[in-house]
Amino acid sequence: MRYLFLLLIALFTQCTPSTTSEAPRPNIIILFCDDLGYGDLTCYGHPTIRTPHLDQMAQKGMKFTNFYAGSPACTASRYALLTGRYPVRSGLEWVLFPHSQLGMHPKEKTLAEGLKEAGYATACIGKWHLGVTKADYLPLQNGFDTYLGLPYSNDMLPPRYAPIPLIQGNDTIESGPDQTTLTKRYTEAAIDFVQQHPSDPFFLYFPYAMPHVPLNPGEAFAGKSERGKYGDVVEEIDWSVGQIIDAVAEMGLAENTLIFFTSDNGPWLTQGANGGSSGLLRDGKGSTWEGGMREPGIAYWPGQVPANSVCTSITSTLDLYTTCLSLAGKEAPDDRTVDGRDISSLFLDDKRALSDSPYFYYGPDNRLQAVRHGKWKLHIRTNSQLQVEYFDKKLPLLFDLDTDPSEKYDLSEDFPEIVAQLQSTLVYHRDQVAQEGTFWDETRE
């Protein structure tokens, strides 16, 4: 009997899940558009651009309605996503050019570097825009195992600049590639990367070249959208998203893969029909009004992210950094300020804890312009891509974004105590950032 009892104990132990075992680390895919507006997807209200795959992704996952980019411009926004830090901490211009001498500082700890330490295979496919004049600034020197893409924006072309290179690894494989093929080529490369990693965890960062101008839809999509060429490009990106989701599902990885879709900043409104829509939000790219900063955000992870759910919590691309590291079992670096917070609870158990108050920066000097705390947003400086002087240049401006997401009704005179509180928050934040400086400041010393 004694031996039978021990045998039963052994069998019970083997069949009972261990309470100390670690949860499997999910694969992570971040799909990152360029200049896509808050109102450019069907599931965010666009009447003619058809985005069935993104709509289904939102229906089967979580749609974020208060999700912010790290900046209203390209370089700064990508820095924020990959480091979890406000772009003012980068020491970079908010947009780098082919001749720009700085790039991602070697001391920065990118999301790819953190996930690589956790055993992830890593790939960047698409637009980099974080430095190109030295190999040290390129993706392979910043945590990525593989890279295919353009090193900066697709409009940085002759005659002002040399033909744009298509880079694989650290090498130029084409000069002035046919941009009508980019979305398809990137999608094929992304699927190939996924298929190479059926068992080990992987991180795919896929920053599309468009709908940044010039608009170059692929042959299969050109002339097909009611919205014109801009719609063609967005609908091809939607197709690409569907291809990625299908590839993950076909490999049996859907229930262990988090896919997040968003954009780097709002739409380029001065491009007329070639620019996007910020929907009900004011202004667009290059401004800290809601239209420049608030973006579509969709999280998809079958069995983990609740289907057909909407998250109204204030979140941002900075939060993706800390969240992805947490899901991989890694802590964010503790030897520097990381501004993003772990929002995985929003995905996994629907806790409504808010991120810290997001701060809004603008321009080559990364000047602090606004802050949001709860429903309140305070502007102490404003600008407009459209060169419009809203509110007759009055400052400060206070808005209740819960009831007025379009920022139409200034409440600063009705709530002076809120204005004073948020002004103090801005001063404290600005002083802290100034005291810390940047890694580039240290290098210059």
Which among 228, 135, 236 has a CA at the least distance from the CA of 184? Answer: 236
For this structure, is 74 an active site residue?
yes
Catalytic, out of 46, 53, 105, 129: 129
Catalytic, out of 33, 74, 124, 311: 74
Q: End-to-end distance of the chain based on CA atoms, in angstroms?
A: 77
For this structure, is 124 an active site residue?
no
* Residues forming the active site: 74, 129
